[in-house]
Structure 1
């Protein structure tokens, strides 16, 4: 079914239950359903039609959540855009997807105005408040207040579950961003699978600090609405103690993390084990947690299940490690999520035996339809599968399995470093670096070298100010083959990250000084 039906159904069953908590507003399911219906009617009246693309250019606020479901109720396709996106990239997205409308905040209107001036598109603009940064009402924009006071009449769009529900743009780290096409059926399948293995319940209270423009953050909203659960929406993890207090106040049961958040938590010295007793589970994706970080998180949160996961925008989630397997396989990202299949192949597309690295391939109803109007990129990722009627997702990531089929991330195919004629996966070196008690975070890259081809370089954030580069090299020498030991160590106060908080190998390489 179409995904907005989950909101409509839960509002009918328990209208008074809290659906969304933000710093400015609490919405019950009845209020959430009503507001999104009113906005949907306003969008339709403004000319938004079935299958039109509508951008949601906002930070984590109640208006963004309402906008997403309003767009679905209007029969259109929502595209969440990170609030830190600059005008040139926003202009590209407006033109690429031929956006019919942009739902934004007054504080972001200068960026929207600049983007529209650069683009050929003429999208209507709906603004979540009338006060712009200069105190003036944005010219030519429709204020939310008027939309939300309109009659909540249903929009008879006639859409079905194979229509596009969302178009989510990749970060564009290797070029222009690509729009990943997901139908209602795709997100239904993905959210059902994830809530199944996380053992989510309708009484869960999930706290999300990750941007709704990041699919990991977005799915916290989609999963909560699917379940009839409560989502506590925060804007960032910049002040962890404030987030911890929020968890205690709201009785939060689920807390999704990324590795940078885990590293921040583990650097805090004033936390006692069990200090957030309401938590039932923690989850991690974006990048694998180093095994030492997993061990320390389990000490801090003894009552919570910890899920290590792996995924990518093109299918949302690929694998998860059942918490009971953590002690046996702390370095694994697990097995395929329910109702999907994950396997490893060589360059010819044949499955490889355990212990042999190859490319991870994903089958399942959650796999994207392709990239928006980009056939070349689509054909590279979606290729014929084991059966004549299907295409499967080639992830571009190198994995290997153990004898029982559990998967281990080796590295991105493009990230492999060739040094002294050998191939080095940065992840393997990073795992050793993270095992050192004086290191909080580390990222490994290859630096051009006239003798070695590439030299292994490590950017390190240390917790021990007395730790030296020689200490780190000695540590690596004890645990790695000689050609894998970093030749360059550079200390940083923080590592370069993407908008979603993921450590960026590309940005790290760009910030390194060339070897003399």
Structure 2
């Protein structure tokens, strides 16, 4: 276990935490030790600096888990730039939105992905580069940036509208890495299998926390759960992080006993674990410690449940992680009593700097910490309702906004609705999340019309939206209900669809 260091450093200094000759990265190109990781980070940073971008310019990447994709989150900040990772599952319209919204000056991608974009998707002020062009004979030394300098913008769906960019500083990323490495007890002997997208704060932190502990990271792009089983057999990782839908798939997969025993640590976020999933994981991987966790991109992560508490408190999201203060707050701003529902508020140095270019939504979500709290400054007011028991353990009660959480992804219903009506098959639609045993929530679209063009609509959305945003079913109505203000009555539709 590493020592808990409360002093934040520039995020690109993480490679120096491992022994120089220890293995840092295991991928299709072979292995890379920490000395090689430091050198590669410096070379990519030098290449970026050589493009002549202004300090603080945004550099986007749209890549699978290549070696470059693993290094860019540190190399861009080392060059004085801001990294904007784009989920490789996103389609052209969503990529175009992120590039335009972030004001990216560069897009690092692959030829095939670039060919899938249409004229205008890459803004005129943005230059596209093939990842094969990124090389340099020079190398920049570690950054001396102020820890509060912006280092990354991670795009996440909001409850309304298009994805919004969460602004993360060097300190946010560094302290998140140290926090997770500490409470998971990661050591240089650990090997972490990376199945999570690197655009996901959970996946990006997995790299940082692994390297902060001097451990090895093995990225994996997979198509089926069987691919993950084979990777565990081939690479012998000690640690696997996932989201509930992946655990469901892995539990029904065939696991040779010796392979299952390779795993010593399982971590979960992106949705609550159900009692059957917990029981299944404990039975399949009896030697592995299970860490249920709750997180917000706006504060990276808020709580974790220690493995020795899982059996007795399977519905708990645990206590605050290191460097975080988490509290349940009443609507009037006072502290909720034990067992009383309140809004989860997260304070401390992990709180992000707000939403990129969106002062209005920043003001809604990032507000002053309650005066009675130990922390000062700004806090994230999550919009989620929790309770805290007498032992200080939190339990998630519900999500106050309209977000849909499916397959570990937070999905904006507005984004789905805009895509549904864009082709003219229907003029009005409401997207709703309904309970689903496999996905957590499935997307149901209630649309105005008779369904004559549903096949065309499904075919178009398969082209325009990634798999995790595809509606599972459609319900067609002659008219959609409205409230007294003339707006679509989402609450009434949700009650009808979920009943």
Given that 1:58 and 1:105 are in contact with CA atoms closer than 8 Å, whether structure 2 keeps it comes out as yes
Residue 379 of structure 2 corresponds to residue 392 of structure 1: yes
Distance (whole Å) between structure 1 residues aligned to residue 284 and residue 83 of structure 2: 38
Given that 2:445 and 2:471 are in contact with CA atoms closer than 8 Å, whether structure 1 keeps it comes out as no
Cross-structure match for 1:279: 263
Deviation at 1:83, TM superposition (A): 1.4
Residue 184 of structure 2 corresponds to residue 198 of structure 1: yes
Distance (whole Å) between structure 2 residues aligned to residue 324 and residue 273 of structure 1: 23
Deviation at 1:99, TM superposition (A): 1.1
Deviation at 1:173, TM superposition (A): 5.5
1:245 to 227, 230, 248: 230
Distance (whole Å) between structure 2 residues aligned to residue 50 and residue 246 of structure 1: 40
Gaps of 5+ in 2: 1-8, 405-431, 447-464, 478-495
Deviation at 1:151, TM superposition (A): 1.9
Residue 149 of structure 2 corresponds to residue 151 of structure 1: no
Cross-structure match for 2:46: 41
Deviations 1:37-56 (A, max 9, x none): 22211211111233211101
Deviation at 1:386, TM superposition (A): 2.7
2:245 to 260, 277, 280: 260
Give the TM-score normalised by the residue count of structure 1: 0.75
Distance (whole Å) between structure 2 residues aligned to residue 39 and residue 443 of structure 1: 40
Residue 130 of structure 2 corresponds to residue 127 of structure 1: yes
Deviations 1:16-36 (A, max 9, x none): 322112234432222222222
Deviations 1:192-232 (A, max 9, x none): 11111111112210001111111111111111222221111
Give secondary structure in 2 for the equivalent of 1:309: strand
Give secondary structure in 2 for the equivalent of 1:370: coil
Alignment coverage as a number of residue pairs: 423
Cross-structure match for 1:333: 317
Given that 2:188 and 2:213 are in contact with CA atoms closer than 8 Å, whether structure 1 keeps it comes out as yes
Specify whether residues 261 and 27 from structure 1 end up closer, same or farther in structure 2 by C-alpha distance, changes over 3 A only.
Answer: same
Distance (whole Å) between structure 2 residues aligned to residue 29 and residue 369 of structure 1: 30
Distance (whole Å) between structure 1 residues aligned to residue 259 and residue 131 of structure 2: 37
Gaps of 5+ in 1: 130-142, 418-425, 435-439, 449-497
Distance (whole Å) between structure 1 residues aligned to residue 259 and residue 48 of structure 2: 45
Residue 149 of structure 2 corresponds to residue 163 of structure 1: yes
Distance (whole Å) between structure 2 residues aligned to residue 223 and residue 442 of structure 1: 27
Given that 1:167 and 1:179 are in contact with CA atoms closer than 8 Å, whether structure 2 keeps it comes out as yes
Given that 2:168 and 2:352 are in contact with CA atoms closer than 8 Å, whether structure 1 keeps it comes out as yes
Given that 2:263 and 2:288 are in contact with CA atoms closer than 8 Å, whether structure 1 keeps it comes out as yes
Give secondary structure in 2 for the equivalent of 1:414: coil
Aligned residue runs from structure 1 range 308-387, under 5 A: 308-387=292-371
Cross-structure match for 1:457: none
Distance (whole Å) between structure 2 residues aligned to residue 416 and residue 153 of structure 1: 43
Distance (whole Å) between structure 2 residues aligned to residue 293 and residue 108 of structure 1: 36
Residue 168 of structure 2 corresponds to residue 182 of structure 1: yes
Specify whether residues 303 and 399 from structure 1 end up closer, same or farther in structure 2 by C-alpha distance, changes over 3 A only.
Answer: same
Cross-structure match for 1:410: 397
Give the TM-score normalised by the residue count of structure 2: 0.78
Given that 1:210 and 1:500 are in contact with CA atoms closer than 8 Å, whether structure 2 keeps it comes out as no
Moved more, 381-390 or 244-253: 381-390
